[in-house]
Structure 1
Amino acid sequence: MSASTCPRYEVVVVGGGPAGLTTALYTTRLGHRTAVFEGEGGRHATVNHVHNVLGISPDVSGRELASHALEQVETYGGDIYLDIVENIDTVEGDYPFRLEAAHATVESKRVVLATGFRDHSPDVPGLREFTGRGLYYCLHCDAYALGDGSVYVLGHDDDAAHAAMTMLNFTDDVDLLLDGRDPQWDDDTDEQLRAHPIERVEPKVVETYTADADDDRFGGLTFTDGTTRDYLGGFAMYGMTYNTALAESLECDLTDDGAIDVDERRETSVKGVYAVGDVTHGQNQTAIAIGDGAYAGIAINKDIRRFPLSLETIDSLNAPGSDTSDSSFTAPGSSPQLRARMRRMQDRTTNPGLRGPPPNR
């Protein structure tokens, strides 16, 4: 597809999780033509209950939150591509990034990578089926749900040991499951762990079972020595892999642990490329991801908005022979299509009884 026939945007966001959609919401509402690419629903869409987000009921799932956020972005004028970006190239011109997805190619002035990370799941038959209802990955999100219960922590490194010790703040019944592997924590962690009332279980885990024959809730785990242990739930601590393939193809710098390195504006080492959310820090928190998206959206707006004109631009406009009719210096500084959306939303705000979709772009 030639550059002249590609849809062009000021901002393209790759990833439809809380961070990416918040960036898109900000840039769209700040008057920039914005698109979001989301092909698989993302890791956040697998969350059964959204926690730690002020004003959001825990009855809301990650998929429901994402669906509502996508609708918001569209309502304000953003474009949604249910597609996976496979490649990003740099090209000459005012739109220096060309993004190629399975079913679309677009060009953009700015790119935002919100590609997240992948948890390393435990190799226990049947356990992944209990993700979000017996198998968890984030103590900050789900320790509350396991208070006063019998809890397992699967893992054999420092992170697993510290997670097990941390869970003692919520319950006095914590098992650290080595799953047939040798511990990899250091001597200090080993000494610290032995001082805590945690049972270390060495045999390999071979299967899961439900609470009873008529109840599909998580019940517990079976081990190679034939023993079984009932649990309310627990955590797998096997690390993560950051989804940085697109960032690496653009030669963005990474941190020592493999995340995309960004500054306080959430811009990468490559000018015009931003990154937000878990792919930059792995904090695994919706609220932090939303904050990242807001930071990036505001920073991008300051970077590419038309007004206020810089002193250098004003000097060039005042220079003898300059073309003061150049449309790039005409107010308002956002497109007629987006301003039509703004007027429609203003009408809906002042007249709550008004219904119907915003005007077409």
Structure 2
Amino acid sequence: MSSADDEYEIAVVGGGPAGLTTALYGARLGHETVLIDRGGGRAAMMADTHNVIGVTEDTSGNEFLATGREQVQSYGGTFERGFVTDVERADDDRFRLTTNDAELVADRVVLATGFSDERPDPPLPRTGKGLHYCLHCDAYMFVDEPVYVMGRGEAAAHVAMIMLNVTDDVAVLTRGAEPTWSDETAAQLEAHPVDIVDEEVSGVENDPDSGWLEAIEFADGTRREYRGGFAMYGSDYNTALAEGLGCELTEGGEIDVDDHGRTSEDGVFAVGDITPGHNQVPVAMGQGAKAGLAIHKEIREYPRSTEEIARDGPVGDDEVPAIPPHLMATAVAHEGHAGGPRTKGVETEDGEVPAADDD
């Protein structure tokens, strides 16, 4: 178990929904946990939070993330604002992380570095107020409204056809580029009421009060009204740290992981948008939870195995509990602790609150 100020059991790189959830589980399960985040990211761009039970849509991405950081810290997790430039496996099989101004050591590393959406060239609508990247997050906003999809590849064509599920006014804006979608996709498009607009975008009109998109102007002098749309130009996965550690990638460029976030390298986990699957906040949170639980089961002190008992003897009274003293103090003082004033639970007939265990 780590003891020095710069030594941790779990180091999480990236403070989006997946990284925050992993760090939250690590701290609450009694492990020395540090979360290192450079700021920004896809979730921080959200003007509103969608599809997250218990979080209302008037919550911005930055507010959502700030609350998450406060939660991690309230349970004794450490938060560091910084950019991790390198992670390497040391001779003792632990990991050394270098940031722009510090060095840390951890037993397990969780990569939650996400990806960056490729942005088309200006002029563009304002991000979050007419320019969007997440179809399943934001399609609901444009039910029965005119919508554009900006791009020239397979993804643009398919997103345009998908949007016909919620509106009858959809256009693909190729911006003068030759489409690269397949002949089969072209035949599909021809059989759907989707407009193909080839002209380059020359200007954008926004509502002067709300800032929301009202219309897009084109190089041929035409003007078309849209309430919003999606840019589909691909993504750049932030896999440099994973590649440096030797983690295997998928054909699509994501980090290849098992169902609990384990990569091909022992001790290295990956969660969130940097892994295959739906790029959704609730999905990322679920991945973070599963990774946090998997790490806990790998590194927790007890139960001691039969081999360990044969080697080291039975667990002594003076060896428990395994939780570090400062995390114990944090837990006992926390409002969610059983001895706290705000504890809530469902009592059994004999007056005891049953403990939960997913093992």
What TM-score does the superposition give when structure 1 sets the normalisation length?
0.90
The partner residue of 2:157 within 141, 161, 164 is 161
Give matches, 1:1-361, under 5 Å: 7-93=6-92, 96-127=94-125, 130-211=126-207, 216-281=211-276, 283-318=278-313, 330-345=319-334, 346=336, 350-352=340-342
Distance in 1 of aligned mates of 2:337 and 2:193: 62
Q: Which amino acid aligns with 2:104?
A: V
Note closer, same or farther for the CA distance 1:310–1:200 as it changes in structure 2 (3 Å cut).
same
Letter in 2 for 1:121: R
Distance 1:293 1:218, change over 3 A: same
Contact 2:12 2:19 in 1 (8 A): yes
Deviations 1:192-213 (A, max 9, x none): 11011111111111221223x5
SS in 1 for 2:164: helix
Cα distance change of structure 1 residues 25 and 146 upon mapping to structure 2, 3 Å threshold: same
Distance apart, 1:282 and its partner CA: 5.6
Unaligned runs of 5+ in 1: 319-323, 354-361
Gaps of 5+ in 2: 344-359
Q: CA deviation at 1:265?
A: 1.9
Letter in 2 for 1:344: A
Summarize the Cα distance change of 1:214–1:20 in structure 2 as closer, same or farther, 3 Å threshold.
closer
Q: Deviations over 1:294-349 (max 9, x none)?
A: 0000000000000001111011124xxxxx7999x921111111111111115687
**CA pair 11-199 structure 1, distance change in 2 beyond 3 A:** same
**Amino acid in the other structure paired with 2:161:** M
Paired residue type of 1:76? Y
Query: What letter corresponds to residue 154 of structure 1 in structure 2?
Result: M
Q: Cα gap change, 1:39/1:214 in structure 2, threshold over 3 Å: closer, same or farther?
A: closer
Checking the alignment, whether the CA contact within 8 Å between 1:178 and 1:203 is kept in structure 2 is yes
Distance 1:349 1:224 in 2: 68
8 A Cα contact 2:212 2:227, kept in partner: no
Q: Which residue type is aligned with residue 185 of structure 1? A: W
Contact 2:333 2:340 in 1 (8 A): no
> Is the CA contact 1:6–1:107 (under 8 Å) kept in the aligned structure 2?
no
Matched-pair contact (CA < 8 Å) for 1:117–1:282? no
Instruction: Name the SS for the 2:211 alignment partner.
Output: strand
Q: After TM superposition, what 4+ stretches of structure 1 lie above 4 angstroms from structure 2?
A: 3-6, 324-327, 346-349
Q: Alpha carbons of 1:245 and 1:202: their partners in 2 closer, same or farther (altered >3 Å)?
A: same
Residues 325 and 170 of structure 1, relative CA distance in 2, 3 Å threshold: closer
Q: CA deviation at 1:42?
A: 2.3
1:25-53 CA deviation, whole Å, 9 max, x = no partner? 00110000000001123221111101001
Partner SS for 1:153 = strand
Superposed displacement of residue 183, structure 1: 1.1
Shifted more, 276-285 versus 63-72: the winner is 276-285
Number of matched pairs: 341
The percentage of aligned residue pairs carrying the same residue is 47
Cα shift readout 1:120-150 (whole Å, capped 9, x = no counterpart): 11113243xx111101111101111011111
Contact residue 135 and residue 234 of structure 1 kept, 8 A: yes
- Distance in 1, Cα, partners of 2:325 & 2:342: 24
3-state SS, counterpart of residue 235 of structure 1 = strand
- The whole-number CA distance in structure 2 between the counterparts of 1:5 and 1:336 is 13
**RMSD, matched Cα:** 2.1
Distance 2:164 2:19 in 1: 35
TM-score by length of 2: 0.90
Name the CA distance, whole Å, in 2 between partners of 1:294 and 1:133.
31
Distance 2:193 2:4 in 1: 66
Q: More helix by proportion, 1 or 2? A: 1
Q: Please state whether the residue corresponding to 1:216 is helix, strand or coil.
A: coil
Please tell me the residue identity of whatever aligns with 1:351. P
